[in-house]
């Protein structure tokens, strides 16, 4: 601004010189020439100074965290509410997938759902019809948001219809809600709340039965390490309610200087407030930059963005650790992303990170963006999604194709601390055959203050994350008026029903881009949570072994047998036909559908079966095609 002031003054002086020169003649030429030269110098300085700051790709924004205590910074105006009563489902289908998109219930002016990847949906893997969701809602249609609550919604029909149980707790404030499920199918939810006249802090609430909507308060108490309270919670239930530890939680404090940022705690009961006590971890960042998942053997994995409030060398780094004793002890953190240099900062993780397991193998997705050691980032610079798993690329993290070379619309205005590609939520199918990842991508469409509208995209992998479907599928703004879509959350596990894989997710839709909590603020509007159930066009993979035409149908013995956990199943097809190949347990229960009425050409075929999430035992695999059927036995030994 100082340069602009000098240039303006020189411009005025030059005009004055020119006016005087008309009166006094050529005796002003020397002065004019001098002024002109000064302007040239200033112009060059301005060009140098603003060359980069004028380029959106190199503009820096602060990494502001939102706690829920903010009030609107909007300058007023009429609340936009174009589709307040829209409960009609959106049905969409293309060559890749089909989905149904429905509204779960409430609407809110407070529209900042999370600082990271939300944890707002859980599908019961044992009763997949049951899906649970939470959503942060401001009860009144105006600011301030002092009556903010966490609403709980439940569906018993795969998300086709929802029961809105309202806020929990019913009194006090509550925000930044999260949800998961206990081994009996009951929901366990939470947020940071002042319920019970407590200082606002992380509290947990356990439902008394699946879908009952009657919650028991589980209060872990105050942070014992300093006066700041743990907020921004995440939760991971253990494998069984019979375990001494029922669940593990993590929260963090709102600070940029204190040495204690994040702490974890173990819940020892779901009927009374009994906890092991907070344990601090100074390497973990704050503001929801951490994520839990549970492996098939009960281990609990944790990924996080490192705390760089005190240790600047942690900027942009991501770590993985796990516990085999329900959170009592943890392995030494493993660095999974060490950021390279980018402009005057690093190409590292910032807010978005999530984890799932296939068996006992972690699968981690994280956002990549230009960040600095001074707490700023490049919202319109290079951005992308990173992926790490110990069994992919030799255990070295990779940059997926979902990056700025694919989409680079940038971000600005009310940024919500997002890059053009951000906040990946990763999950898996119940049988572990399919990985799913949903994330946010900015559009070229902007509002009056430069805030970009966003879309939700979905991609899948059927080889453990080694490859991802590209391009990904856009799930939003496929019909109707332009909407802003953010804060996507995938269920940790997703069902396979009727031979088809499904992805179950929630996200927030708004008619105005960005959040009212940001600076500059978005206009006030009523945002809604929506649920998508996407039917995936996934074929696990029938491989052609030989083109030689066999004389008859034949099902071979799997190899190896016994196996752990992967085996191959070969079969012969004498003519073009539709085949179904299924796996059953000893009770006759369908365990997996490897092919469902799938058209195949003549030849010898092979299918790989991965039993990573199944217990040891005897299983049967069966093939059917027209009047032909055959079944064989196989043994899984772990």
What is the residue-wise DSSP string for 155-179?
ESSTTSS-EEEEESSSSS-EEEEEE
CB count within 10 Å of CB 273 equals 15
Mean pLDDT of 53-81: 59
Task: Classify residue 500: in a domain, yes or no.
Answer: yes
Write down the pLDDT at residue 601: 87
| Residue 279, in any domain of the structure | yes
From 536, 567, 596, the end of a domain falls on 536
Element (H, E) at 292: strand 290-294
Q: Which of 397, 400, 340 is nearest to 370 (CA)?
A: 340
* Closest C-alpha among 339, 351, 424, 420 to residue 385: 424
526 and 546 housed in the same domain: no
Among residues 495, 510, 536, which one ends one of the domains?
536
- Asked whether residue 385 carries a pLDDT value surpassing 50, the answer given is yes
Residue 71 lies in a domain: no
Any idea which of 81-90, 255-264, 569-578, 581-590 has the lowest mean pLDDT? Answer: 81-90
CA distance 148 to 167: 9
276-315 pLDDT, tens digit per residue, is 999 999 999 999 999 999 999 999 999 999 999 878 999 9
Number of domains, the chain: 3
CB 417 within 8 A of CB 115: yes
Sign of the Cα pseudo-torsion (26, 30, 31, 36, in order): positive
Q: Could you tell me the CA-to-CA distances from 196 to 70, 186, 193, 533 in Å, in that order?
A: 22, 23, 9, 37
* DSSP secondary structure of 551-607: SS-EEPPPBSSSBSSEEEEEEEESSSEEEEEEEEETT--EEEEEEEEEEE-SEEEEE
Claim to verify: residue 372 and residue 425 sit in the same structural domain: yes
pLDDT category of residue 369 using cuts at 50, 70 and 90: very high
Question: What angle, rounded to 10 degrees, do the helices at 2-24 and 29-53 form?
Answer: 160
Give the pLDDT score at 45: 37
- 276 and 354 inside one domain: yes
Whether 249 is covered by a domain: the verdict is yes
| Sheet of 163-167, strands arranged across | 121-123, 131-138, 148-155, 163-167
555 and 509 assigned to the same domain = no
Q: How many CA atoms lie within 13 A of 263 on its CB side?
A: 25
Residues 166 and 206 in one domain: yes
Question: 332-346, 441-455, 583-597: which has the minimum mean pLDDT?
Answer: 583-597
441 & 546 share domain:
no
For the beta sheet containing 542-546, the strands, ordered from the edge strand earlier in sequence to the opposite edge, are: 542-546, 603-610, 566-573, 554-555
Is the pLDDT score of 213 beyond 70? yes
Q: Please, are residues 303 and 368 in contact by the beta-carbon 8 Å criterion?
A: no
Which element (helix H / strand E) includes 52? helix 29-53
Residue 79 pLDDT greater than 80, yes or no: no
Closest to 571 in 3D by CA, of 595, 593, 590 = 595
Instruction: Tell me what pLDDT residue 186 has.
Output: 98
* pTM of full prediction above 0.85: no
Is 80 part of any domain? no
Give the pLDDT band (50/70/90) at residue 143: low
Distances 533 to 381, 504, 612 between C-alpha atoms, Å = 32, 5, 25
Co-location of 622 and 481 in the same domain: no
Instruction: Enumerate residues 6+ apart whose C-beta is below 8 A from 354.
Output: 117, 291, 303, 364, 365, 366, 424, 425, 426
Give the integer Cα–Cα distance in Å for 284 and 114.
Answer: 17
Residue 221 phi, psi dihedral angles, 5° rounding: 90, -175
Is the same domain home to 437 and 579? no
For residue 401, pLDDT beyond 60 = yes
Residue 388 lies in a domain: yes
Structural domain harbouring 43: 2-54
Asked whether residue 364 carries a pLDDT value surpassing 90, the answer given is yes
64 inside domain = no
Residue 553 maps to which CATH number? Answer: 2.60.40.2550
Do 521 and 377 fall into the same domain? yes
Residue pLDDT, tens place only, 169-182: 998 899 999 999 99
Residues 464-481 pLDDT 10s = 898 898 889 999 999 889
- Same domain assignment for residues 496 and 570: no
The answer as to whether 47 is a domain residue is yes
Is there a single domain that holds both residue 553 and residue 531?
A: no
User: Above 50 in pLDDT, residue 28?
Assistant: no
Chain position carrying tokens 């081994």:
183
Render pLDDT for 251-270 as a digit per residue (tens, 0 to 9). Answer: 999 987 777 789 999 999 99
Same domain as 475, residue 624: no
CATH of residue 276's domain is: 2.120.10.10
List pLDDT tens digits, range 499-538.
789 999 999 999 999 988 877 777 788 899 999 999 987 6
Q: Which of these three, 486, 509, 536, is where a domain ends?
A: 536
């Amino acid at each position: 601004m100082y340069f602009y002031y000098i240039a303006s003054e020189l411009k005025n002086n030059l005009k004055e010189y020119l006016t005087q020169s008309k009166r006094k003649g050529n005796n002003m030429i020397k002065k004019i020439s001098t002024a002109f030269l000064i302007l040239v110098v200033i112009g060059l300085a301005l060009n140098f100074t603003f060359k980069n700051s004028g380029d959106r790709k190199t503009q820096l924004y602060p990494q502001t965290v939102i706690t829920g205590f903010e009030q609107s910074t909007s300058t007023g105006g009429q609340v936009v509410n174009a589709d307040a009563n829209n409960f009609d489902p959106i049905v969409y289908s293309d060559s890749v997938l089909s989905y149904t998109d429905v509204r779960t219930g409430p609407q809110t002016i407070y529209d900042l759902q999370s600082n990271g990847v939300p944890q707002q949906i859980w599908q019961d893997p044992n009763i997949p019809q049951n899906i649970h969701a939470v959503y942060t809602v401001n009860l009144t249609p105006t600011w301030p948001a002092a009556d903010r609550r966490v609403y709980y919604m439940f569906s018993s029909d795969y998300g086709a219809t929802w029961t809105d149980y309202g806020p929990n707790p019913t009194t006090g404030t509550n925000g930044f809600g999260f949800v998961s499920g206990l081994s009996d199918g009951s929901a366990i939810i939470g947020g940071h709340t002042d319920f019970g006249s407590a200082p606002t802090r992380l509290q947990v609430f356990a439902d008394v039965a699946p879908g009952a909507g009657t919650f028991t308060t589980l209060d872990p108490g105050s942070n014992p390490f300093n006066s700041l309270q743990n907020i921004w919670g995440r939760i991971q239930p253990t494998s069984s309610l019979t375990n001494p530890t029922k669940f593990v939680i993590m929260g963090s404090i709102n600070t940029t200087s204190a040495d204690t940022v994040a702490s974890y705690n173990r819940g020892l009961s779901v009927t009374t407030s009994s906890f092991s006590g907070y344990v601090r971890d100074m390497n973990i960042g704050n503001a929801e930059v951490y994520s839990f998942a549970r492996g098939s053997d009960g281990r609990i994995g944790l990924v996080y963005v490192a705390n760089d409030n005190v240790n600047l060398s942690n900027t942009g780094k991501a770590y993985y650790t796990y516990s085999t004793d329900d959170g009592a002890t943890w392995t030494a953190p493993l660095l999974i992303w060490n950021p390279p240099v980018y402009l005057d900062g690093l190409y590292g993780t910032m807010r978005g990170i999530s984890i799932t397991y296939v068996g006992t193998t972690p699968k981690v997705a994280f956002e990549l963006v230009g960040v600095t050691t001074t707490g700023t980032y490049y919202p319109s610079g290079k951005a992308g999604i990173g992926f790490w798993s110990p069994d992919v690329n030799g255990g070295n993290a990779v940059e997926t194709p979902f990056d700025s070379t694919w989409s680079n619309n940038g971000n600005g205005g009310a940024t919500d601390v997002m890059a053009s590609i951000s906040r990946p939520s990763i999950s898996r199918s119940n049988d572990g055959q399919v990985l799913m990842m949903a994330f946010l991508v900015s559009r070229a469409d902007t509002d009056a203050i430069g805030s970009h509208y966003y879309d939700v995209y979905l991609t899948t992998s059927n080889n453990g994350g080694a490859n991802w479907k590209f391009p990904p599928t856009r799930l939003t703004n496929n019909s109707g008026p332009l909407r802003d879509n953010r804060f996507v959350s995938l269920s940790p596990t997703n069902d396979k029903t009727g031979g088809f894989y499904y992805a179950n997710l929630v996200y927030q839709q708004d008619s105005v881009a960005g959040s009212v909590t940001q600076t500059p603020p978005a206009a006030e509007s009523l945002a809604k949570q929506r649920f998508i159930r996407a039917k995936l066009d996934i074929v696990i993979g029938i491989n052609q072994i030989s083109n030689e035409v066999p004389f008859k149908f034949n099902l071979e013995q799997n190899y190896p047998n016994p196996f752990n956990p992967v085996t191959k199943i070969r079969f012969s097809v004498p003519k073009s036909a539709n085949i179904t190949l299924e796996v059953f347990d000893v009770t006759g229960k369908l365990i997996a559908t490897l092919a469902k009425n799938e058209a195949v050409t003549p030849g010898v075929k092979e299918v790989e079966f991965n039993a990573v999430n199944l217990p040891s035992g005897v299983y049967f695999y069966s093939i059917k095609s027209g009047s032909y059927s055959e079944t064989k036995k196989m043994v899984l030994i772990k």
